[in-house]
């Protein structure tokens, strides 16, 4: 009985300590890990959100680029960090496609994280060079059907969102188009700009400046609704019913974060995402502000992992 009482007392004391720590949160600077290099879209959003969170929390939120293995190194570090709210992570679309494509990850992509909120969502855009013979996605599909196996599409690598989005498009459109993987985000764009390949499937945030500059002609966006950034561009689903693909960014922490800390961080993210200047910057990058509850983010991550796993299985893509 004394042993049981002692364990109960220790548990109660631990809960009280966790509650007190949550009430004081944050009491020191917070690290926000970004698994990609400086200068890219993930880094830009992460740094902008970190700055605004610092203003609201009264403590510095310090962005830290911990690159390697397509963000897996940063993900693993956060998954194994202390559950105190002082190490957070920018989650990207790569998080879910890696979970679908990798034979083994050094963490469980759902159980080993406390999800806080999504930040922004981006549709993909299907583009061709501005002087391309194709003016609509229907024209492109018809051409590929008449010339099976003769048209290639590039991506920055096997298992990336753009690769899997392309494979889902090939399957749902019933066409024979070959995937050509590269090692890097800019090479696919260069391949299409040079005329060596016809179609670029990329995040709108990456292609948008080139569309505005007149280098690319957008044929369709991958969201179910048209993008506010490209209101005159139809959706892929108008040509391929049911097609939908998108990328997103969000904030997560280690597993077991106290509920009070998750709620405090969620409130702050929601405040930041609702700022007009943030919405404007997201729009300039082709994104839509998309704050969520922690549970909504978890469900979104789970649904995206299952979606891309189905594509990998259906297309018989070799796991990495």
CA 185 from chain centre, in angstroms, equals 14
Contacts of 13 (CB under 8 A, 6+ apart): none
* Residue tagged 């991958």 (tokens): 222
Q: Is 216 helix (H, G, I), strand (E, B) or coil?
A: strand
Q: Which domain holds residue 157?
A: 123-238
Residue 93 backbone phi and psi in degrees, to 5 = -60, -25
Residue 265 lies in a domain: yes
Q: What's the CA gap between 260 and 17, in Å, rounded?
A: 12
Q: Which of 178, 202, 170, 177 is nearest to 188 (CA)?
A: 202
Count of domains for the chain: 2
Residue 320 lies in a domain: no
Neighbours of 236 (CB within 10 A): 28
Kindly state the DSSP code that residue 19 receives in the 8-state scheme.
Answer: H
pLDDT score recorded for residue 39? 82
Q: What's the CA gap between 168 and 171, in Å, rounded?
A: 5
- Out of 238, 256, 282, a domain closes at 238
Neighbours of 57 (CB within 10 A): 18
Is there a single domain that holds both residue 117 and residue 250?
yes
Is there a single domain that holds both residue 110 and residue 142?
no
Is there a single domain that holds both residue 199 and residue 309?
no
Is there a single domain that holds both residue 207 and residue 154?
yes
Is there a single domain that holds both residue 256 and residue 112?
yes
- Three-state SS annotation for 149-194: CCEEEEECCCCCHHHHHHHHHHHHHCCCEEEEECCCCCHHHHHHHC
**pLDDT tens-digit profile, the chain (320 residues):** 555 545 444 444 444 444 555 678 999 999 999 999 888 889 999 999 999 999 999 999 999 999 988 899 999 999 999 999 999 999 999 999 999 999 999 999 999 999 999 999 999 999 999 999 999 999 999 999 999 889 999 998 899 999 999 999 999 999 999 999 998 767 898 899 888 999 999 988 888 889 999 999 999 999 999 998 899 999 999 999 999 999 999 999 999 999 999 999 999 999 999 999 999 988 888 889 999 999 999 999 999 999 999 999 999 998 98
Q: Which of 61, 41, 42 is nearest to 52 (CA)?
A: 61
Kindly state the DSSP code that residue 235 receives in the 8-state scheme.
Answer: B
Residue 319 lies in a domain: no
Which residues are 123's β-sheet partners?
246
Q: Is residue 109 within 8 Å of residue 182, measured between CB atoms?
A: no
Q: Which of 122, 119, 126, 59 is nearest to 252 (CA)?
A: 119
Is there a single domain that holds both residue 92 and residue 33?
yes
Is there a single domain that holds both residue 103 and residue 28?
yes
pLDDT score recorded for residue 204? 87
Is there a single domain that holds both residue 271 and residue 209?
no
Report strand pairing: 114-129 vs 246-253. antiparallel
What CATH number has the domain bearing residue 142? 3.40.190.10
**Whole-prediction pTM value?**
0.88
Is there a single domain that holds both residue 103 and residue 251?
yes
pLDDT score recorded for residue 176? 92
Q: 14-21 — which CB contacts under 8 Å span 24+ positions?
A: 18/258, 19/258, 19/260, 21/84, 21/258, 21/261
What CATH number has the domain bearing residue 261? 3.40.190.150
Is there a single domain that holds both residue 234 and residue 278?
no
pLDDT score recorded for residue 2? 52
pLDDT score recorded for residue 303? 97
Q: Which of 41, 93, 87, 56 is nearest to 250 (CA)?
A: 93
């Amino acid at each position: 009985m004394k042993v049981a009482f002692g364990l109960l007392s220790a548990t109660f004391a631990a809960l009280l300590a966790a509650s007190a720590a949550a009430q004081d949160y944050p009491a020191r600077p917070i690290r926000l890990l970004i698994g990609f290099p400086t200068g890219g879209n993930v880094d830009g959003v992460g740094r902008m959100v970190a700055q605004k969170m610092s203003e609201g929390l009264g403590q510095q939120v310090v962005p830290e680029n911990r690159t390697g293995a397509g963000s897996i190194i940063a993900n693993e570090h956060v998954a194994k960090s202390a559950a105190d709210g002082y190490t957070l992570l920018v989650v990207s679309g790569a998080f879910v496609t890696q979970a679908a494509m990798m034979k083994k990850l050094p963490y469980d992509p759902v159980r080993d994280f406390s999800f806080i909120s999504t930040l922004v969502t981006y549709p993909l855009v299907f583009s061709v060079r501005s002087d391309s013979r194709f003016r609509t996605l229907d024209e492109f599909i018809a051409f590929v059907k008449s010339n099976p196996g003769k048209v290639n599409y590039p991506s920055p690598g096997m298992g990336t969102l753009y690769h899997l989005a392309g494979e889902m498009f090939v399957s749902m459109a019933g066409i024979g188009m070959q995937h050509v993987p590269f090692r890097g985000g800019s090479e696919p764009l260069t391949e299409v700009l040079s005329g060596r390949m016809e179609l670029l499937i990329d995040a709108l945030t990456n292609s948008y400046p080139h569309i505005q500059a007149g280098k690319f002609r957008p044929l369709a966006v991958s969201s179910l609704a048209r993008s506010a950034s490209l209101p005159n561009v139809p959706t892929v689903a108008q040509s391929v019913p049911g097609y939908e693909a998108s990328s997103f960014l969000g904030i997560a922490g280690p597993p077991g974060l106290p509920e009070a800390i998750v709620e405090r961080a969620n409130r702050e993210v929601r405040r930041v995402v609702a700022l007009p200047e943030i919405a404007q910057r997201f729009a300039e990058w082709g994104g839509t502000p998309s704050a969520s509850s922690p549970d909504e983010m978890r469900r979104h991550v789970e649904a995206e992992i299952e979606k891309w796993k189905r594509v990998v299985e259906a297309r018989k893509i070799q796991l990495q």
